[in-house]
Amino acid sequence: GAVVSQHPSRVICKSGTSVKIECRSLDFQATTMFWYRQFPKQSLMLMATSNEGSKATYEQGVEKDKFLINHASLTLSTLTVTSAHPEDSSFYICSARGAWGTTSTDTQYFGPGTRLTVL
């Protein structure tokens, strides 16, 4: 149980285009999802916290107009990278936290990641 999927797993796009990444909790309801970015040989850096039905909370230094996050349902959050540039090329990973009483409070469940390459 507690599986999180991401789609697509890999995407290549041209500079200036927008890319949407989906994060789904497959067998539980996720009231909160987190979006992380990981550059090569570096650790995961939290970008934003997404709560179902409300606006995302962005970490300092993350442009909210560039990284649009929507969490419209309890099983789906999307990250849209708008007007992507080569420096946005990275590995984007989401994680999900279940509704209280439904999943463990000891952990959050990570998706497999999406590798974005902007040419």
Partner 1 sequence: QKEVEQDPGPLSVPEGAIVSLNCTYSNSAFQYFMWYRQYSRKGPELLMYTYSSGNKEDGRFTAQVDKSSKYISLFIRDSQPSDSATYLCATPKGYFGNEKLTFGTGTRLTIIP
The alpha carbon dihedral of 37, 11, 56, 71 has a sign of negative
- Does position 112 interact with partner 1 (CB under 8 A)? The reply is yes
**Chosen residue from 14, 41, 61, 65 binding partner 1 by CB under 8 A:** 41
Task: Tell me the site size for partner 1, rule CB under 8 A.
Answer: 27
Contact stretch for partner 1 (CB under 8 A) within 11-19, 62-70, 71-79, 88-96: 88-96
Give CA angle at 16 (14, 22), nearest 5°.
75
Contacts of 58 (CB under 8 A, 6+ apart): 47, 48, 64, 67
* Cβ-based nearer residue to partner 1, 83 or 99: 99
The smaller minimum CB distance to partner 1, of residues 27 and 82, is found at: 27
